[in-house]
Amino acid sequence: MNRDEKATTVAALHERFKKATVALLATSQGLNVKKVQQLRRALKQAGGEYKVTKNTFARRALKDTAYARLHDLLEGPTGLVFGYADPVAVTKVLVRFAEENDKLAIKAAVLDEKLLEAAAVGELAKMPSREVLLATLLRTIQAPAVQLLRTIQEPGARLVRVVEQVRARMESQE
């Protein structure tokens, strides 16, 4: 690999770090090609990406990004996982895959410029997805309005029920 190719590789990694909402480090030493391809497909469906590169390239690409805290953890064979959309979804996929394959181990992650140890990454994976959180928030915001609407409609609904009961009695008496 010549100097230009190395610079291009570092620049591409740097762009991935800039676009990512979460970055994770994992060791996948001993995983066969088929398993790595399964991991890549699963991460892609969740809005993520798995890359294996030289640690020196990754260290250079980390400069001036929110993920600079990963610098010291880049030792030995390390895979980079980038999450571009929902960080929880990507983390869930990686944690589930690590549970099913003992040769994959999560080292750490950086989310919102905070370094998360492997145990904290597992806790992050237990969180509901972004869509579920947004639905819960929307339900919470709508609850007072729905209750107010029910309160406003109740007197009219009572009147309709009373009129219906009177009509039913009159019809039964005929």
Domain coordinates of the chain in residue numbers? 3-127, 128-174
Mean pLDDT across 39-68:
92
Q: Beta-carbon neighbour count of residue 19 at 10 Å?
A: 11
Mean pLDDT across 15-41:
91
Portion of the chain with pLDDT greater than 70, in percent = 100
Assign 24 a pLDDT band (cuts: 50, 70, 90). very high
Cite the DSSP H helix spans in 46-129: 55-62, 87-100, 118-125
Over the range 62-80, which residues count as b (16 or more CB within 10 Å of their CB) and which as e? beebbbebbeebbeeebbb
Residue 44 has pLDDT above 90, yes or no: yes
pLDDT averaged over every residue in the chain:
89
> What CATH superfamily is the domain 3-127?
Ribosomal protein L10, N-terminal RNA-binding domain (3.30.70.1730)
Residue 112 has pLDDT above 90, yes or no: no
| Contact (Cβ atoms closer than 8 angstroms) between residue 55 and residue 5 | no
Residue 130 has pLDDT above 80, yes or no: no
Assign 95 a pLDDT band (cuts: 50, 70, 90). very high
